Structure 1
């Protein structure tokens, strides 16, 4: 048997439980998944996925007139289809998500 090393880490319990349930359904242990992740880090010489900042809300000041009209039309169609939410809830969601 190959030599092994011990890895100690802290993770949110819900995240751990959710991930382990998925791994279990796949027939993979958490230890095997972590080993696979580490091997992918080595193969990629970095993380095996792209890291980027979350997309900020649309900045209307950066849109062309045609792009602005298209966004307004899209919003109008959503309202007609009953897919809208009250502005107070939308702004509260934005404040929570982007901390402003």
Structure 2
């Protein structure tokens, strides 16, 4: 069994409270979630998700969304068909 160590983090108080609430609904506490995240970092030998700057096409799409340009309204059913779940 590995030795546990105590650490200190500086986090946004509102985000921490919100995260704790979500984790509670998932049946775990903040320490358990941090341990899961730490284990994933070790297992993946890096962050357990992609971290990259957006390419030019994605940047342009984000700017359009923020400016509310080139938006298309579709129904949930249309969305399901587009992503192939229907």
TM-score grouping bracket, smaller chain normalisation = 0.5 to 0.7
Deviating above 3 A after TM superposition, structure 1's stretches of 4 or more consecutive aligned residues are none
The aligned residue for residue 17 of structure 1 is: 17
Give the root-mean-square deviation of aligned CA atoms. Answer: 2.5
* Residue correspondences, number: 63
The aligned residue for residue 30 of structure 1 is: 30
Q: Higher Cα Rg: structure 1 or 2?
A: 1
Bigger RCO (CA 8 Å, 6+ sep)? 2
Greater helix share, 1 or 2?
1
| Residues 55-91 of structure 1: per-residue CA shift (max 9 Å, x gap) | 4235xxxxxxxxxxxxx9x56x77xxxxxxxxxxxxx
For structure 2, which runs of at least 5 residues remain unmatched after alignment?
Answer: 62-68, 74-86
